[in-house]
Every structure is written in C-alpha cells, then in structure tokens.
Amino acid sequence: MSKGADIELIRVTKRYGLALAVDAVTLKIPAGTYCCLLGPSGCGKTTTLRMIAGHESITEGDIRLGPAVVTDLPPARRGTAMMFQSYALFPHLDSVDNVAFSLKMRGIDKATRRGRALEMLKLVQLDHLAERRPAQLSGGQQQRVALARALITDPQALLLDEPLSALDPFLKIKVRQELKKLQLQLGISFIHVTHSQEEAMALSDLVVVMNGGRIEQAATPREVFNRPATAFVARFMGDHNVIAGRVAGRAGDGFTFEVPGGATFKAPDEEGLEAGAPVEIAVRTDRIRIGEPSTPGCGLTGLVQNIEYHGQKVQVALAAPGVDDFAVQVPESAFFARPLSIGDAVPLAWTPDDIHLLKPSPSA
Ligand SMILES: Nc1ncnc2c1ncn2[C@@H]1O[C@H](COP(=O)(O)OP(=O)(O)OP(=O)(O)O)[C@@H](O)[C@H]1O
C-alpha cells in the first residue's frame, strides 16, 4: 500500500447552471487523516467528494494530491478510489472477480489479479466468501467487497459516499469500527460523506461541517463540539442552546449581552465587540444546573415545556422570556432524585466560562 498524500482543495467551486452547489471551498486534509464531510441534505458534501474523485468536473479552483494538481485528471489517474453508496457491484461476477475488475481493465493477467483480489478480500475478512455473487451476500458483506474493490488500486486516499447509510443500527456501529481500524492499518486518508453527527464524531480526526456549499468549521470532533464556530454548527451538532441577543456593555473581564425579553447575561471576554452589536452565544445542555440558584447574569428561570427520557439522561425543554427552546440534559439519577413536571418554574444556573460566543455564518 502507498503511504498516502495530503489533499488540498483550493477555492473549489461547482456550479450547475446558475445554482452554486459548492462555493470556493478551501481545505487541507493531511495524509493519513480520517476526514468526515458532514452536513444536511443539499449542503454540497457529495459534490465535493465527487470532485475530489474526478467523477464531477470542477467549475473553478484546484485540487492537489501531494505535489500533483489533479483538477483535470480522470478518476483512475488521480490516486484516489471511491466506494459508492450503492456499492455498484456487478451482479454476475463473484467476489473475487468484482474485486479484481479494475486490474482486468489494466490488462493484468488472471492469476496475478485473482491473487491480489484474494489478498484484498482477506484484508476485509471476506476471503471465505470469495466465490459468492453479490445476491448471495448480506448488505454488510457486499460493502466489504466494495471496499476491497476500491482498495485494490492501492489508492493514496479512499473516498466513501455515505458508506453506512444502508446498514441497520447494530451493523452500522460494527462496520464503523472496522472502517476506522482499516484506515489506521492502511495509513491513508479516508474521506467519508455523512449526514450523521454521531458517525462523524466517532470516526473523524477532522470533521468538516458544511452548509449551503461552504465550510462552517473544519476541526477535530472535540473542538467542533466544544467550540462550535457558528450557530449553524452548534445547532447541527446538537446538545447546545443557541441564544441570540445584543451586546449590552463590558463587565470586568467579559461582556454582557441582553436578550429581547430584557434579561442580561455575562460572557467571557472577546475582542472587538461593540455595544449594540448582535451576538449569538451557545451553552451546552449538559452544563446547565437545574434547580440551583444562580449568580446574577449566569442563569434564568425556565418554565418546563417537555420532558424526554433518554436512558442515561433526561432531556428537559424549557422556555423563558426572550429564550425559547432552551434544553437541559439532566443525568438520570439526578432527575429522579428531584423529578420535574411540565409547567414547573425552575431556576437554571451556569458559569460564565460555559458561554461560548458564536461567529457569523460564512453561508449567511
Ligand atoms: N447534477 C446536478 N444538477 C443540478 N444540481 C445538482 C446536481 N447535483 C447536485 N445538485 C445540487 O447541488 C447541491 C449540492 O448537492 P449535493 O448532492 O452535493 O449535496 P449533499 O450535501 O451531498 O446532499 P445529500 O446528503 O442529499 O446527498 C444541491 O442543491 C443539489 O440539488
């Protein structure tokens, strides 16, 4: 296997007629990275992946793989391989011949290509089903054949379009672990398109959150979750409350902001914020203490709107003047030690360090 190469997207743009699907995306994926392109339907993640693969032309911008500009190269000459969502296996060929197909196209003799195909099937632990055709394999097994078929070309990066979406929830988690293990074993970059936050967090070294054809944030899962760049990222990743307000003034080593209902909150220092400027802040739903009196500017009183049992946690939805849709996650044991009911008015408290200032969205 090759050692892999850095992939660089430089102001990569895709237009379909007048519609802008991908808008000047710049991104560097270091060699050996597990990278997930994450975002809602239509955000441009599949188009970005297909441009990296060479299955979609690039309207403007460049893509580099290592030192080479691959922008105009056909897929087979890029050094990337793609695993499609549908697996795209040939129904009349057995696993070995499906995996060996690209070597056949290159004119490699039968014994050599079957030998290589068997090695690849062994890598994905499917050598014992080498003689079976796709219809005789489960969904998870077909996916392994598709993986082996992509990897036989010895790519510097593997591109995966929603590879887990067709699997049931249990298999999804198992295959997810296998994909990560395989990526670490091969040492090449995997670029994986998904709309699942959980999948991206579980797998990635680098999560690229996309919205409206642009990158909202590209960072480690922990950074994206703890310091979401924008309100879109905070809402999309979930488990955050986003509060919109205006800067009211400065206070000590921080600033205060006011929500439409008139309540004022404290936030840590941030350069360049002027009084009156609109701001959005995020606070994690598990950082809020329920039923505890707060210090001034670090809490509010909420009216319980809804209670959902989530197993380890109970999710409580509340409303307060100027802050609708405020959610608090309470550990199960703490909730049932002091249960709440819909309609209860409860004090909520946090510390100023739990307030995270959000930036304006690049796709706004
Ligand atoms: N062949 C095409 N012709 C015209 N518009 C297209 C074409 N392919 C994609 N688009 C548009 O480009 C935008 C981005 O599409 P893309 O498939 O990349 O999104 P996505 O984030 O992968 O969504 P999904 O999760 O639904 O696959 C969408 O608005 C889509 O409608």
8 burial level (CB within 10 Å; 0-12, 13-18, 19+):
middle
Tell me the best of 14, 15, 18, 46 to mutate to test the pocket of ligand 1, counting ligand atoms within 8 Å of each CB and taking the most. Answer: 46
Residue 1's pLDDT is what?
Answer: 44
19 touches ligand 1 (CB under 6 Å): yes
- Equal fold, 7-226 vs 231-358: no
Q: Mean pLDDT check: name the lowest of 20-29, 202-211, 251-260.
A: 251-260
Rounded distance from Cα 13 to ligand 1 centre (Å): 13
For 169-183, the pLDDT digits (tens) are: 888 898 899 999 999
Mean pLDDT of 212-223: 97
pLDDT band of residue 30 (cuts 50, 70, 90) is very high
Instruction: Give the residue whose CA is nearest to atom 10 of ligand 1.
Output: 21
pLDDT band of residue 3 (cuts 50, 70, 90) is low
**Going by CATH, does the domain composed of 231-358 fall within 2.40.50.100?**
yes
Residues of the chain with pLDDT > 70, as a percent, come to 98
Tell me the best of 45, 159, 192 to mutate to test the pocket of ligand 1, counting ligand atoms within 8 Å of each CB and taking the most. Answer: 45
For 329-351, the pLDDT digits (tens) are: 999 999 999 999 999 999 999 98
For 118-152, the pLDDT digits (tens) are: 999 998 888 888 889 988 988 888 888 999 999 99
Residue 203's pLDDT is what?
Answer: 97
Residue 62's pLDDT is what?
Answer: 96
Q: Is the per-residue pLDDT at 19 higher than 60?
A: yes
Q: Is the per-residue pLDDT at 6 higher than 80?
A: yes
Q: Where are the domains of the chain?
A: 7-226, 231-358
At residue 166's C-alpha, the angle toward residues 205 and 185, to 5°, is: 35
Determine how β-strand 157-161 pairs with β-strand 189-194: parallel
Residue 2's pLDDT is what?
Answer: 47
For 255-304, the pLDDT digits (tens) are: 888 888 777 888 877 767 788 889 899 999 999 999 887 788 888 899 99
Give the CATH architecture of domain 7-226. 3-Layer(aba) Sandwich (3.40)
Residue 364's pLDDT is what?
Answer: 65
Residue 311's pLDDT is what?
Answer: 95
189 touches ligand 1 (CB under 6 Å): no
At residue 15's C-alpha, the angle toward residues 14 and 19, to 5°, is: 135
Mean pLDDT of 72-90: 86
For 161-171, the pLDDT digits (tens) are: 998 888 888 88
43 touches ligand 1 (CB under 6 Å): yes
Q: Mean pLDDT check: name the lowest of 46-60, 168-182, 206-220.
A: 168-182
Mean pLDDT of 225-241: 95
Residue 296's pLDDT is what?
Answer: 81
Alpha-carbon distance 226 to 250, whole Å? Answer: 24
Q: Among the atoms of ligand 1, which is closest to the Cα of residue 47?
A: 18
Residue 292's pLDDT is what?
Answer: 83
| Residue bearing the bigger pLDDT, 194 or 252 | 194
Q: Among the atoms of ligand 1, which is closest to the Cα of residue 195?
A: 25
Q: The sheet that has 157-161: what strands, in order across it?
A: 80-83, 157-161, 189-194, 34-38, 206-211, 214-219
Which of 327, 226, 82, 275 is CA-nearest to residue 217? 226
pTM of the model: 0.91
